[in-house]
Amino acid sequence: MRCEPFEADRVAELADCVFSTLPHTASMEACGALVERGCRVIDFSADYRLRDPNLYAQWYGASHSDVSHLGEAVYGLPEIYGDDIRGARLVANPGCYPTAAILGLAPLAAGDLIELRGIVVDAKSGVSGAGRTPKLAYHFPECNESTQAYAVGTHRHTPEIDQVISEIAGAPAEVVFTPHLVPMDRGIFTTMYVRPKRNFTETELLDTYRGYFGAAPFVRVTTRIPATKDSAGTNFCDVTLRVVRGQIVVLACLDNLIKGAAGTAVQNFNLMHGYPETTALL
Amino acid sequence: MRCEPFEADRVAELADCVFSTLPHTASMEACGALVERGCRVIDFSADYRLRDPNLYAQWYGASHSDVSHLGEAVYGLPEIYGDDIRGARLVANPGCYPTAAILGLAPLAAGDLIELRGIVVDAKSGVSGAGRTPKLAYHFPECNESTQAYAVGTHRHTPEIDQVISEIAGAPAEVVFTPHLVPMDRGIFTTMYVRPKRNFTETELLDTYRGYFGAAPFVRVTTRIPATKDSAGTNFCDVTLRVVRGQIVVLACLDNLIKGAAGTAVQNFNLMHGYPETTALL
Amino acid sequence: MRCEPFEADRVAELADCVFSTLPHTASMEACGALVERGCRVIDFSADYRLRDPNLYAQWYGASHSDVSHLGEAVYGLPEIYGDDIRGARLVANPGCYPTAAILGLAPLAAGDLIELRGIVVDAKSGVSGAGRTPKLAYHFPECNESTQAYAVGTHRHTPEIDQVISEIAGAPAEVVFTPHLVPMDRGIFTTMYVRPKRNFTETELLDTYRGYFGAAPFVRVTTRIPATKDSAGTNFCDVTLRVVRGQIVVLACLDNLIKGAAGTAVQNFNLMHGYPETTALL
Amino acid sequence: MRCEPFEADRVAELADCVFSTLPHTASMEACGALVERGCRVIDFSADYRLRDPNLYAQWYGASHSDVSHLGEAVYGLPEIYGDDIRGARLVANPGCYPTAAILGLAPLAAGDLIELRGIVVDAKSGVSGAGRTPKLAYHFPECNESTQAYAVGTHRHTPEIDQVISEIAGAPAEVVFTPHLVPMDRGIFTTMYVRPKRNFTETELLDTYRGYFGAAPFVRVTTRIPATKDSAGTNFCDVTLRVVRGQIVVLACLDNLIKGAAGTAVQNFNLMHGYPETTALL
């Protein structure tokens, strides 16, 4: 493969649609220019995920340099914003943690069934979620045979989850999000603890989930508890739930490298170009 | 090593103190007889952990056959019941999950600082926690490279945690307990989500923990987030906490094979026989 | 999926080609009957791999019950027996270890370049190679974080390797084969030590390999040392070599679940039915 | 712990014996100075392992800067050079790979039982053997779930093994050494292939091994095949062998962090100071 220096004009000449995998802050320098030149863009960075540039500045420590395109950006989670994605010029591909959390919480938020403050999102991720840059924390003998939480209460995926759950619910939501690193290559298992507004049975809730995701080809609502290995190497997100002592325990898992990133990007591409949503993904 | 059929008379003749590692229901057949013959017993099974035989029947599906000794059994967590353990004839060594959960919650429960209903206990355990009997779920290619929850809301360690936190708090506590299996040999990492009765700073709370565990040689209250590897092969339980959006997130970890079982049993033995608590453990 | 009792007549009515995954001894009961009824069969068991029924009896401890079809069975390694596979009625799909060993040794054996007695084949396999039946040896906490040899000098794949290398060389070959279990799901890395008949340079030998495998779409002759992860999830076998102190060290790796079993079976199916060899495999 | 800049005078004032864990080339700058000042030194680097400074220059790419002390340095493998270690001023602690290889081969070399040219040493090591500096090759998602050979024929431990086996045999030995990386924290499993001068039974050879290591407290000659997990966390080296088609297959394993480094250093310290060899190691 040959790499060339980035020139927006040259890229726009060659491509109708661009997948940008630049890091955050660098990506918004490029994406706006591409959109202006008629490219449609699917951006893997965080730059267009948060609607509020002040929130971006607060969590990412940099002011937003492309506010003019922020307004039209669509959050690229097809199960939630599929209709908007079809016509979008600029799609902000979601983070891996938010995908599992949002898919796990959306049916509850949509139905006004739960307390929106203080939802607990406890996520366990394989080490590929940390990227490919060698660091002591990801050196094999350091993280193998070990589990630990990190960035407790400070992880940048927090406001993404808040934002989307708030939009689905039509009221402000706030999650307590704790990511953990577990010694495996890939996969995210997310356990959510939610307080319902009234009592529900598991059957009722599972029906709600099945109804909500009826048309979504990549969400599997299961009765048994899924394992990350069930969805490894696929674009599926598996979801189930239990009612325990009055709380709803939602269990969701996916492959962070597929449904948590590249697979969803392809799914967005399919929607944007009128292909069947599952093209190249099943 | 030579094994002999169990005879209470013979054992009582040979031993002053017995570690019983019989499975539950079998253990209560033997332990009562040993206590009657003057042995002191440290029981690894669940048979004497729950004070209420009805609760035992409900969670273990068997009626308790040694109620006469249940009343004198002491729950063998030295950091909580150390004084009672010193003089005990019968010590119920705790389960691995309850040890991490109780040590993580005790300082909060003791100070009447928190809501006791709906405490979330999200635990991640290495596979040795499941015992040594081969089953498909623990077959290497099944559980390697995979994470999943199991026994959500139904794990038998739940009433142990409830019972001890209730006793410490002096009011009924109820946890929502979700164990998970992660692909490592040993170690438990437990993340707890607690709603305080008023706002606290992390500094205040860490001071409370340091005060509570001041004399406990095997609890390390840390400021940085611990990893299970830090305590692997040791009898330490590492604990810290964060305050996130009004909730207290407590993080505790230990080696399930040491502090979660055999190490605590030795610690109990030391207390029962007047040895320094750390003998053979540091 | 619905399972039905096996009836040769019924299967022959429904299928032109059958993949038999019955265990050895059971498979030869079924395969002969299917071939007689006009089915073409790709057999995953060891039953038709060894040409000599006495050798079969010696290594498998059972007399061969379908000698009448043994003579026409083709050893299903497409890179060696591709022409015979095209027209075969009965194909004996190779074992996972023999595939890596034979592909690593074939170019040397074909050219009469090496001593055929005492070739060392040192293989390292992931645990899925041991099958899916839970046993203590494959219980996660037993085999995780551990490496060991097993079946040293007694593994049943030994005569397969001998037989094929002998056929390629046109003279009797005999390998010293040592399999090892390493703590990973999938993958085989095989290191072979061979004594050449005269001195060769690495360049000469790599050219010989590239020539030998020129038309083989699933063998990649590399200069750098491959890792099992490079071929994981693919039907490729990666091969390279080094000359060290007068010996040739051949390094070959593949995914035991794909090129070491199912992938090669599909490759055989493609050859048998006139499809491009890579159909459904790239 | 407080670190201070290195000053030989200061160290010699404070310490009778020094463990040097400086990297090679840096270590020989310090060790000679310490010996001159009356310290006894156990050096973890490679600087004093090879008797021939030209060989050192050839394998380490640097000329030896302390040839004056090289002559008195003793190779610190207690099972081979125990008598010399007792009185040594300067001990060159062995590499992890050589320890397993030499202990596996020594009884054969001592008895003049084998061909000394072309001995195959195929070693499989956990990732801690590569040190603690993060590199892409040891990044968890790169080396987890993967096995590969490296430094084939070029690993610096090669001349150490040659040298000691030659000294034991009293004739020049030459090994073909291939190290491999397997996805575990610690442990080395070494498989050696040796051509005997005449035929031996396994029983004869095991007796030879038991005789040779009779007084060695940390070598366990076993009949069953050991696993690295058997010796993990201990100072033991487990050794057994099989005779396969006329070759002797020797299997040796140990924990590279204990018997492969720090444990042997303590063993050397014990010998040098007249303590029982097992002090602090059992």
Convert the pLDDT of each residue in A163-214 to its tens digit. Answer: 999 999 999 999 999 999 999 999 999 999 999 999 999 999 999 999 999 9
Contact D126 A136 (CB under 8 A): no
pLDDT of residue A1: 78
Contact A272, A81 (CB under 8 A): no
Q: What is the mean pLDDT of residues A152-170?
A: 98
What's the full length of chain A, in residues?
282
Please state the φ and ψ torsions of residue D72, each to the nearest 5 degrees: -95, -10
Q: Coil, strand, or helix at residue A184?
A: coil
Q: Which among B39, B96, B143, B253 is annotated as catalytic?
A: B96
Helices (H), chain B: 8-14, 26-36, 53-60, 67-70, 78-87, 96-110, 140-143, 158-169, 202-212, 228-231, 263-273
d(C-alpha C87, C-alpha C85), whole Å: 5
Residue A172 at interface with chain B, using a CB cutoff of 8 Å: no
Contact B253 A176 (CB under 8 A): no
Q: Which of A145, A175, A225 sits opposite B152 (nearest CB)?
A: A225
For residue C141, CA distances in Å to B132, D148, D234 come to 8, 23, 18
- The secondary structure of residue A172, as a DSSP letter, is -
Cα-based angle A180, A184, A187 (whole degrees, multiple of 5): 70
Q: Which among D96, D143, D237, D253 is annotated as catalytic?
A: D96
Q: What percent of chain B has pLDDT over 90?
A: 98
d(C-alpha B166, C-alpha B106), whole Å: 10
Tens-place pLDDT, residues B136-178: 999 999 999 999 999 999 999 999 999 999 999 999 999 999 9
ipTM higher than the 0.95 cut: yes
- The secondary structure of residue D137, as a DSSP letter, is G
Contact C141 B134 (CB under 8 A): no
Cα-based angle A85, A122, C143 (whole degrees, multiple of 5): 110
Q: Is the pLDDT of residue B201 over 90?
A: yes
Q: Coil, strand, or helix at residue D80?
A: helix
Sheet with D188-194, side-by-side order of all strands: D148-149, D174-181, D117-125, D188-194, D247-254, D237-244, D219-221
Contacts of A233 in chain D (CB under 8 A): none
Residue C166 at interface with chain D, using a CB cutoff of 8 Å: no
The model scores a pTM over 0.90: yes
d(C-alpha A158, C-alpha A122), whole Å: 12
- Tell which residue, C74, C50, C76, has the closest CA to residue C64: C50
**Per-residue tokens: A62:** 């940099």
Residue C58 at interface with chain D, using a CB cutoff of 8 Å: no
d(C-alpha C117, C-alpha C10), whole Å: 47
Q: What is the mean pLDDT of residues C107-114?
A: 96
pLDDT of residue A63: 97
For residue C137, CA distances in Å to A63, A79, D2 come to 56, 43, 46
Q: Where does residue B104 rank: exposed (0-12), middle (13-18), buried (19+ CB within 10 A)?
A: buried
Establish, for the pair of chains A and D, how many residue pairs have beta carbons separated by less than 8 Å: 56
Residue C127 at interface with chain B, using a CB cutoff of 8 Å: yes
**Per-residue tokens: B67:** 């109620």
The continuous run of DSSP H or E covering C2 comes out as none
Shortest Cα–Cα distance, B182 to chain C (Å): 11
List C residues 188-227 in contact with D (Cβ-Cβ < 8 A): 189, 191, 193, 195, 225-227
Contact D249 C152 (CB under 8 A): yes
For residue C200, CA distances in Å to C102, C209, D24, D154 come to 20, 13, 34, 18
pLDDT of residue C1: 78
pLDDT of residue D1: 78
Mean pLDDT of chain C: 97
- Tell which residue, C149, C40, C32, C36, has the closest CA to residue C97: C149
d(C-alpha B190, C-alpha C109), whole Å: 57
Tens-place pLDDT, residues D99-150: 999 999 999 999 999 999 999 999 999 999 999 999 999 999 999 999 999 9
Helix/strand/coil percent split, chain A, to 5? 40, 20, 40
**What is the radius of gyration, based on Cα positions, of chain B?**
19
Task: Give just the sign of the alpha carbon dihedral B177, B181, B186, B189.
Answer: negative
Tens-place pLDDT, residues C227-239: 999 999 999 999 9
Residue D132 at interface with chain A, using a CB cutoff of 8 Å: yes
Tens-place pLDDT, residues C194-248: 999 999 999 999 999 999 999 899 999 999 999 999 999 999 999 999 999 999 9
Contact D156, C252 (CB under 8 A): no
d(C-alpha B130, C-alpha B132), whole Å: 7
- Tell which residue, B10, B20, B102, has the closest CA to residue B66: B20
For the residues of D109-122, what is the DSSP string, one character each? HHTT-B--EEEEEE
- The secondary structure of residue B130, as a DSSP letter, is G
Please state the φ and ψ torsions of residue D127, each to the nearest 5 degrees: -75, -20
Q: Where does residue B7 rank: exposed (0-12), middle (13-18), buried (19+ CB within 10 A)?
A: exposed
List C residues 137-156 in contact with B (Cβ-Cβ < 8 A): 138-141, 143-145
Q: Where does residue C216 rank: exposed (0-12), middle (13-18), buried (19+ CB within 10 A)?
A: middle
Q: Which among A96, A143, A237, A253 is annotated as catalytic?
A: A96
- Tell which residue, D150, D55, D46, has the closest CA to residue D94: D46
Cβ count within 10 A of residue A268: 28
Q: Which residues pair with D196 in a beta bridge?
A: D114
Contact A187, A229 (CB under 8 A): yes
Q: Which of C152, C184, C251 sits opposite D146 (nearest CB)?
A: C184
Contact B144 C144 (CB under 8 A): yes
Tens-place pLDDT, residues B44-79: 999 999 999 999 999 999 999 999 999 999 999 999
For residue D221, CA distances in Å to A36, A144, C143, D192 come to 74, 31, 22, 15
Torsion of CA C267, C273, C274, C278, to 10 degrees: -20
**What is the radius of gyration, based on Cα positions, of chain C?**
19
Please state the φ and ψ torsions of residue C195, each to the nearest 5 degrees: -100, 115
Cβ count within 10 A of residue A4: 7
Q: Is D143 designated active site?
A: no
Q: Determine the residue of chain C that is closest to D193 in CA distance.
A: C120
Q: Which of A127, A141, A145 sits opposite D141 (nearest CB)?
A: A127
**Per-residue tokens: B109:** 């429960």
pLDDT of residue B9: 97
Q: Which residues pair with D194 in a beta bridge?
A: D248
For residue C101, CA distances in Å to C73, C198, C250, D146, D243 come to 21, 22, 9, 18, 21
Tens-place pLDDT, residues C120-177: 999 999 999 999 999 999 999 999 999 999 999 999 999 999 999 999 999 999 999 9
Contacts of B183 in chain A (CB under 8 A): 182-184
- pLDDT average per 10 residues of sequence, chain D (282 residues): 92 97 96 97 98 97 97 98 98 97 98 96 97 95 98 98 98 98 98 97 98 97 98 98 98 98 97 98 94
Contact B139 C134 (CB under 8 A): yes
Task: Give just the sign of the alpha carbon dihedral B91, B97, B103, B106.
Answer: negative
Burial A150-176 (b: 16+ CB within 10 A, else e): eebeebbbbbbbbbbbeebbeeebbbb
- Tell which residue, D105, D130, D128, has the closest CA to residue D118: D105
Contact D197, D112 (CB under 8 A): yes
Q: What is the mean pLDDT of residues B76-91?
A: 98
Q: Is the pLDDT of residue A114 over 90?
A: yes
Tokens 């001349």 found at: D159
d(C-alpha C257, C-alpha C184), whole Å: 13
Shortest Cα–Cα distance, A183 to chain B (Å): 6
Shortest Cα–Cα distance, B115 to chain C (Å): 38
Contact D223, D209 (CB under 8 A): no
Q: Coil, strand, or helix at residue B159?
A: helix
Helices (H), chain C: 8-14, 26-36, 53-60, 67-70, 78-87, 96-110, 140-143, 158-169, 202-212, 228-231, 263-272
Q: What is the mean pLDDT of residues B28-48?
A: 97
Contact D79, D259 (CB under 8 A): no
Q: Which of B138, B157, B182, B194 to mutate to test the interface with A (most CBs of A within 10 A)?
A: B182
CB within 8 A of A188, min separation 6: which ones?
A96, A97, A100, A123, A124, A125, A126, A129, A228, A253, A254, A255, A256, A260
